[in-house]
Chain A
Amino acid sequence: MAVCVAVIAKENYPLYIRSTLTENELKFHYMVHTSLDVVDEKISAMGKALVDQRELYLGLLYPTEDYKVYGYVTNSKVKFVMVVDSSNTALRDNEIRSMFRKLHNSYTDVMCNPFYNPGDRIQSRAFDNMVTSMMIQVC
């Protein structure tokens, strides 16, 4: 399923990033980092639209040879980026959407933790487990 999941703060630095392939982690860092260009562009394009009509799901940010990068942005401008294997054709837009929604819910839980300092790296075990479940789940 997802091979890399990242949560990026409003100021565009990573709050959380994890990938399945640990030996090539840096590659995903690069991939997610460069995808932010597209996210920024999409957000600025959306800025013109009415705020309440805004769709949080940004859709496919860009495809690479092996992966597809999807984006999602919360109302507080926190971004979720998910990299999925492009060979996995079973993943439709709707599945991606629901995964992002799950991620968003879990992120909300993290933010509700009074001991979490907004802006710090996310170290919640619950969040970690949720991401793990999204990574291994076979579609």
Chain B
Amino acid sequence: MSVPDYMQCAEDHQTLLVVVQPVGIVSEENFFRIYKRICSVSQISVRDSQRVLYIRYRHHYPPENNEWGDFQTHRKVVGLITITDCFSAKDWPQTFEKFHVQKEIYGSTLYDSRLFVFGLQGEIAEQARTDVAFYPNYEDCQTVEKRIEDFIESLFIVLESKRLDRATDKSGDKIPLLCVPFEKKDFVGLDTDSRHYKKRCQGRMRKHVGDLCLQAGMLQDSLVHYHMSVELLRSVNDFLWLGAALEGLCSASVIYHYPGGTGGKSGARRFQGSTLPAEAANRHRPGALTTNGINPDTSTEIGRAKNCLSPEDIIDKYKEAISYYSKYKNAGVIELEACIKAVRVLAIQKRSMEASEFLQNAVYINLRQLSEEEKIQRYSILSELYELIGFHRKSAFFKRVAAMQCVAPSIAEPGWRACYKLLLETLPGYSLSLDPKDFSRGTHRGWAAVQMRLLHELVYASRRMGNPALSVRHLSFLLQTMLDFLSDQEKKDVTQSLENYTSKCPGTMEPIALPGGLTLPPVPFTKLPIVRHVKLLNLPASLRPHKVKSLLGQNMSTKSPFIYSPIIAHNRGEERSKKIDFQWVQGDVCEVQLMVYNPMPFELRVENMGLLTSGVEFESLPAALSLPAESGLYPVTLVGVPQTTGTITVNGYHTTVFGVFSDCLLDNLPGIKTSGSTVEVIPALPRLQISTSLPRSAHSLQPSSGDEVSTNVSVQLYNGESQQLIIKLENIGMEPLEKLEVTSKVLTTKEKLYGDFLSWKLEETLAQFPLLPGKVATFTINIKVKLDFSCQENLLQDLSDDGISVSGFPLSSPFRQVVRPRVEGKPVNPPESSKAGDYSHMKTLEAVLNFKYSGGPGHTEGYYRNLSLGLHVEVEPSVFFTRVSTLPASSTRQCHLLLDVFNSTEHELTVSTRSSEVLILHAGECQRMAIQVDKFNFESFPESPGEKGQFANPKQLEEERREARGLEIHSKLGIRWRIISFSWGHLGLGAPSPRVPTSKRDP
């Protein structure tokens, strides 16, 4: 006996074994169709008694196992059913012959046999035979079940007669010695008359009768026989059979205690619920009459409770039986099966620890050299049993061993599919799910080494199965989830093989459905690279849209009439966390900045990296990047163009790494920092580009309002000079530019500015509007600088060096009387004329020109854009009046105004007044000029101290008055200067050269 039946369970002891086999050529499909129908007749209530017969059908049974039939009668093939095709009458004799040959195989043990013939019709088929049934075809055979029932009843009759026969044998005649195949030669020449031998014979026979009783549905009788047998065999130390008797006792007790069965074959035992076990005990009563032959004093009723083992005893007896079996090497299969049966009982009793001991024992039972298939079967069944007792890890371990056995090198045709299937079944045991989502929270906690091994095996098996998509999926999973546990070398190896696989079959984001109903979810590479921070970027300042403020104001748009309410504030806070308070514009490139990190010890090439968005049609412009090994945080900007308007949500990004496409959703990324991912997209707006006649400036203005200035230009002017700035406005967007507003803002507030610094006429430019895409318009701005240089200490220092005494106070102060003795109006030649060009003398003026423009659909929605031009003007001093005095003129109405004019430039210049007097001044020269003017009073100045006095600061008032007077003097005198060389040189540029000194005056 060498082939163990791993499916055995205790209640199989009460079954009759029937073999169903095809003869000749019968298609497998037809055979199993009939086989299934036969199997459905698995239990029969015997006529006129309440006993039930159980049948175990096998379509394959090794005859060598049959030889152990005397040892345990349920191993004995008692019935044979053969199924055959036979289509013509002339084949019939041959077919019938085959049936007989088949019978020979199990001949010694058969009680009865049947032949089912399909296809034969006519004369032969009409003869009524008990052992042959004819059916025209496989469909038309309704009586199969009935036939089987008859057959079983005939088996019962034989069984019953055997039981009675054996039972009565005892009455004095010599009882034959039953033995197992390997014992036969041991008993040759033994004294058959000894007491010892007789007892042995008796004990074994009792055990045999017990088996028969059990099969015949007489549970209590069998218990009695087993008990007696145990006593007999124990006294003669017949261990093998003692073991069998004990096991019989266990089986009968298990059947009594667990009518539901231990094999887990649901429905196999259809007892009528509550009638058991009380009824089970009673129902054999009619049959009890027949027991008197062997054991008239068996009082089953009295002994019942005692005979039946308690659940604890069952296990003890199993243990004992197994220990006896283990003494015999040849009984390995019996021992193994007993272990399995005990485990099943223990599983029902929920005694896992003891069950595991039995299983552990079963593992060590060494049968002969097993074939590879048998090994697989053995490991699989061990795995199942461990699962049964709740040892999932152990179960997984054996299942994995079984899987490995499927592809052992000694197997000619490795079963990679089976291996793969078994490996998949081990996943729960290693608490490994193939869904990467289960790994996304926090650090991975599990048996990494073991799990990695399993994943590697899955990858390999799926590759050998010829399913590269599966290998890619598993390998991606391995890389994604076990990254922290892979050594540098392993990382290299895994990625290397992943790239090899993906070169044939790129990884996708599609779930892969496995035949077993399992679905492998996609594995996005969220760790290759790791994204730490996601930030949606606002448009550059010049392109940011602004909302035209409505009369109500934007803040009033919320439904609540309250400015602040704690309840609403809370809600707002939540909203704000999601939605970002800037807008993107349809058709304009938007940017999202990611901070990424490469965890690999080598350069990581990320291709096709782009944004995943929803809400708005979005054209993503993918990028490719290459991250250096173990890089720190590395900024990556992903761009795209929204094509429609609405609210856009950035859900994640997609990448292609090592040939695997991944869609990484931000929600699933652990430890990511994001400042919101929802942004409103407003309708398209035009784009304005400006270019100027002036050079760009290195200075960048920092306007206080926080607006950024996109372009800066600079110009250098002499005080009093004015210049035209020509600005080219180009519409580089896709929408017509319909509206333009220009405003300016002077940033330098320290300097006192006289007159209009910037002036322009917008009408001419607006005449060219709307400006279609690609069209250019020009816009001219006049820059005029008039500053007060009078208190520049450096400059005055120069002058005093030349012996001109100055007060150190602003010369231009209208109320300052210059009382110092003055030097003759001789030309002053400063020794360090180079100083004139020293920039320390310069003053700067800064201003921002704001171009508010709009057009297209964005305009109708009330949005505009703001473009700022920074203007940086450096002002150099030009002409100073170092001294002012008056002389009476010939006419009393007039006087001479004497001005000491100093040219602080490096250029020769002319000074002219209204009276067409032209004075030529060389660089750094100081000359006196006299102007005859009419005397006048500042009557025209609208002094209204009565109106303003109380409210205005007297100082301010004074300032205002002073300014007004200055203007009046200026308009009267009309003093102008002009740099001769510039006026020519600059004429070509259209630069205007009438430069007007800012100040002069006199009381």
Partner of A26, one of B364, B386, B445, B449: B449
Interface assignment of A42: CB less than 8 Å from any CB of chain B: yes
- CB pair A38–B445 under 8 Å, yes or no, is no
Can you name 6 A-B pairs with beta carbons within 8 Å?
Answer: A29-B447, A29-B450, A33-B447, A34-B397, A38-B391, A63-B360
Name which of B356, B390, B394 has the most chain A CB atoms within 10 A of its CB: B394
Question: Which chain A residue shows the least CB distance to B364?
Answer: A65
- Check A128 for interface membership: any CB of B closer than 8 A: no
Pair A37/B450 contact, Cβ less than 8 Å: no
Q: Flag whether A30 is at the interface (Cβ < 8 A).
A: yes
Which of A9, A30, A37, A65 is in CB contact (< 8 Å) with B392?
A37
Interface check A71, CB cutoff 8 A: no
Q: A14 to B447, Cβ gap below 8 A?
A: yes
Q: Is B453 an interface residue (CB 8 A)?
A: yes
C-alpha gap A65/B450 in the complex (Å): 21
Known contacts: A13-B447, A62-B356. The answer to whether A36 contacts B453 by CB under 8 A is no
Complex Cα distance, B401 from A30, in Å, reads: 11
Q: Which residue of B lies closest to A119 (CB)?
A: B445
Quote the shortest CB–CB distance from B877 to chain A (angstroms).
Answer: 68
Question: Ordered nearest first, which 5 A-B pairs have the shortest CB separation?
Answer: A37-B391, A13-B445, A34-B394, A29-B449, A34-B393
Chain A proximity of B84: nearest CB distance (Å): 49
Most buried by A among B392, B393, B397, B450: B393
Q: Mark B596-625, 1 if CB is under 8 A from A, else 0.
A: 000000000000000000000000000000
Judge whether A13 and B446 touch: CB under 8 Å.
yes
For A34, list chain B residues within 8 Å (CB). 391, 393-394, 397
Looking at the complex, which one of A9, A33, A45, A63 makes contact with B450 (CB distance below 8 Å)? A33
Interface residues, chain A, CB within 8 Å of chain B? 9, 11-14, 25-26, 29-30, 33-34, 36-38, 41-42, 45, 62-63, 65, 119-120
Which listed residue (B353, B397, B443, B447) contacts A38, Cβ 8 A?
A: B353
- Which residue on A lies nearest to B397, using beta carbons? A34
A29 and B393 alpha carbons, distance in the complex (Å):
12
Contact B360 A62 (CB under 8 A): yes
Q: Please encode chain B, from 367 to 406, with 1 for each CB lying within 8 Å of some chain A CB and 0 for all others.
A: 0000000000000000000100011111001000000000
Tell me if B291 is interfacial: C-beta within 8 Å of chain A. Answer: no
Chain A residue at smallest Cβ distance from B357? A62
Could you tell me the distance between the alpha carbons of A45 and B351 in the complex, rounded to whole angstroms?
Answer: 10
Could you tell me the distance between the alpha carbons of A73 and B453 in the complex, rounded to whole angstroms? Answer: 27
In the complex, number of A-B residue pairs with CB atoms less than 8 Å apart: 49
Cβ-closest chain A residue relative to B431: A12
Chain B positions 406-465 with a Cβ under 8 Å from a chain A Cβ: 430-431, 443, 445-447, 449-450, 453
Q: Which residues in B have their C-beta under 8 angstroms from that of A37?
A: 356, 386, 390-394
Most buried by B among A11, A41, A45: A41
Task: Beyond A30-B450, A37-B391, list 5 extra A-B contacts (CB 8 Å).
Answer: A11-B445, A13-B446, A26-B453, A37-B356, A38-B391
Residue numbers in B under 8 Å from A14 (CB-CB): 447
A63 to B394 Cα, complex, angstroms: 14
Q: How far, in angstroms, from A34 to B395 measured CA to CA in the complex?
A: 8
B744 contacts partner chain A, Cβ-Cβ < 8 Å: no
For residue B154, CB closer than 8 A to chain A, the reply is no
Given the known inter-chain contacts A26-B450, A30-B450, A42-B353, please indicate yes or no for A36 contacting B445, CB distance below 8 A: no
B790 within 8 A of A: no
Contact indicator A33/B353 (Cβ below 8 Å): no
Q: Which residues of A contact B443 (CB under 8 A)?
A: 120
Interface residue? B692 (CB, 8 A) = no
Which residues of chain A are near B386, meaning CB under 8 Å?
A: 37
Q: B397 contacts which chain A residues (CB < 8 A)?
A: 30, 33-34
Query: How far, in angstroms, from A65 to B431 measured CA to CA in the complex?
Result: 27
Which residues of chain A are near B391, meaning CB under 8 Å? Answer: 34, 37-38, 41
Closest chain B CB from A136 CB (angstroms): 23
Expressed in whole angstroms, the Cα–Cα distance for A113 and B67 within the complex equals 69
A36's partner among B352, B353, B364, B393 (CB-CB below 8 A) is B393
A45 surroundings in chain B (CB, below 8 A) = 353
A34 to B396, CA, bound (A): 9
* Cβ-defined contact, A38 with B446, below 8 A: no
A36 to B390, CA, bound (A): 11
Q: Using A30-B397, A33-B393 as known contacts, say yes or no to A38 and B356 having CB atoms under 8 A apart.
A: yes
Chain B residues within an 8 Å CB radius of A26: 449-450, 453
In the assembled complex, how far is the CB of residue B657 from the closest CB belonging to chain A, in whole angstroms?
Answer: 27
- In the complex, which residues of chain B have a beta carbon less than 8 angstroms from the beta carbon of A42? 353
- Residues facing A in B285-300 (CB within 8 A) are none
